[in-house]
Amino acid sequence: MAKRPITLLWIAIAWLATAGAQETQLDAFTGLKMSGDWELVRNNCIACHSPRLITQQRGSEAQWLNMIRWMQAKQNLWEFDPLTEGKIIAYLAENYPPEASRRRAAIPPDLMPPNPFAPPTIQHDE
Ligand code: HEC
């Protein structure tokens, strides 16, 4: 009887430990999010450069397609069959979508210090 609360405690701890692990796992080698067709990206996209170039980039489907077209035109990236290309683009746009701007809002001009590089104001004596 006295053991039951302890058993329940262990179940609760185990549940909490797995609840946090629901986020998409990252592949240990490439850092790519392991969801959907991620292996197509691993197989086709890391031969020439670090996978970091991919995971640090963000884009819509059109933007990812543009990057692929640019690499095909300028960097010897091979052609994909349309099905494979569609899956690669869908994976990239879903897992590395455009983000809201990461920059902070500009400081209002009245809160800025005087500009030391401002051109001198010319005094007109009349
Ligand atoms: C045949 C070689 C090659 C392959 C394969 C390749 N790339 Fe690239 N990629 C390049 C080169 C070269 C650059 C320019 C690297 C640099 O600027 O240092 C580049 C740059 C990039 C960039 C940065 C673009 C930018 O605007 O800064 C991204 C993102 C990228 N590649 C994604 C991918 C993806 C996704 C794939 C798979 C579909 C892929 N690459 C496959 C050669 C390749």
Q: Which atom of ligand 1 is nearest to the CA of 88?
A: 38
Q: For 100-112, what is each residue's pLDDT tens digit?
A: 776 788 889 889 8
Q: Tell me which of 113 and 73 has the higher pLDDT.
A: 73
Classify residue 26 by its DSSP letter: B
* Predicted pLDDT of residue 124: 76
What are the tokens at 38? 């991620």
Percent of the chain clearing pLDDT 90 (strictly above)? 60
Nearest by Cα to 37 from 91, 85, 96, 92 = 91
Percent of the chain clearing pLDDT 70 (strictly above)? 89
Q: Which domains does the chain have, with CATH numbers?
A: 24-97 (1.10.760.10)
What are the tokens at 6? 């302890």
Helix (H) or strand (E) holding 73: helix 61-74
* Distance (Å) from CA 76 to ligand 1 centroid: 10
Mutation choice for ligand 1 from 43, 49, 55, CB with most ligand atoms inside 8 A: 49
Of 12-16, 31-35, 45-49, 74-78, which range is least confident?
12-16
* Distance (Å) from CA 89 to ligand 1 centroid: 14
**3-state SS, residue 5:** helix
* Predicted pLDDT of residue 103: 74
Q: For 63-95, what is each residue's pLDDT tens digit?
A: 999 999 999 999 999 999 999 999 999 999 999
DSSP state letters, 34-68: -STTHHHHHHHHSSSS-THHHHT----HHHHHHHH
